[in-house]
Chains A and B, each alone.
Chain A
Amino acid sequence: MSTHPDRQRRIRIVSNIIRVVALLGMISCLTAILGYWLLPEPPRITSGGNWKAAHEWLNRPLVSLVLFIPFVGLLIFYQLMGCFARGEIFSKVTVRSVRWIGSLMVLWWLIPMALQGVLLLLALEGPRDVEFTIDGTLLGGILVFLLAWILEEGRQLQEEQRLTI
C-alpha cells in the first residue's frame, strides 16, 4: 500500500504501542481466569439470587466463559494492530478483524443478560427479574460493524486503485 513514509511511521509507532497494551490486557484476562479457578472461594455470580446447591459448580465455568470473551477480543485487536503496523489498513484481514470485534462487543452486551435469565430459571433462588439495558457496549458494537463496512468500501476502492494502470 502506498502511504506517505512519515504517516506510515506514525501509524506503526501508535499501532505497536496499542499492541503492547492489548498484550498486557490479554495477560490480565488469563491471570484473572487462572486466579478464579485457583481461588478456594471465588466471588459468585449472584444476579440478585442465591445459588441452588446442585448448580453451584456452574459458577467457575460461567465466569471463565465471560472473562474469555474480552481475551479473544484483545487477541483479535492485537492482530489488527499488527496489520496496521505492517501497512495493511484496507485488507480483508483487517475488515474481518473489525467485524469480529463488533460481534464480540455485541456478545459482551448480550451474554450477561442471557446468563442472568438462564441462571434465574435454573440455578438461582430469588426474585426472577431480568434487567434489560441498552448501553454503550451494544451501541459501540454496532458502530464497529459500521466501521467494518466502511473499511470494506475502502478496501474495494484501494483494490480498484491498485488495478488502475
Chain B
Amino acid sequence: MAIIVNLDVMLAKRKMRLNDLARAVGNTPQNLSVLKTGRARAIRFSTLDAICHVLDCQPGDILEYRPDEGEGSP
C-alpha cells in the first residue's frame, strides 16, 4: 500500500510511548501497533481524530502518500 503511517515519528517528537497513546485514545496497544507497523487496512475517522487530538498534530503528520513505495492499487 502507498499510504505510509508515520506514527512512530510523531510519538518520538512528542516523547510519548505507544502504550500511553493507546490509553489516551481509548484503544489497545496491539491495535495501535498494527497501525504503527503499516499492517492496518483502514483507520476510522474517530481514531484519527483521537490520535491527532492527543498528539496535537494534523492527519498529514501521521499519514503520508508515497506512490513509489506502495502498489497503489485498491
**Residues in A lying within 8 Å of B, measured CB to CB:** 160, 163-165
B54 at the interface (CB under 8 A from A): no
22 CB contacts below 8 A, A to B, read A160-B41, A160-B42, A163-B34, A163-B39, A163-B40, A163-B41, A163-B42, A164-B40, A164-B41, A164-B42, A164-B43, A164-B44, A165-B27, A165-B31, A165-B32, A165-B34, A165-B35, A165-B40, A165-B42, A165-B43, A165-B44, A165-B47
What 7 A-B pairs come out closest when comparing CB atoms?
A: A163-B41, A164-B42, A165-B35, A165-B40, A165-B43, A165-B31, A160-B41
A121 to B28 alpha-carbon distance, docked (Å): 67
Residue of A160, A163, A164, A165 with highest tally of chain B CB at under 10 A: A165
**Residues in B lying within 8 Å of A, measured CB to CB:** 27, 31-32, 34-35, 39-44, 47
Shortest distance between the CB of A163 and any CB in chain B (Å): 4
Residue of B39, B40, B41 with highest tally of chain A CB at under 10 A: B41
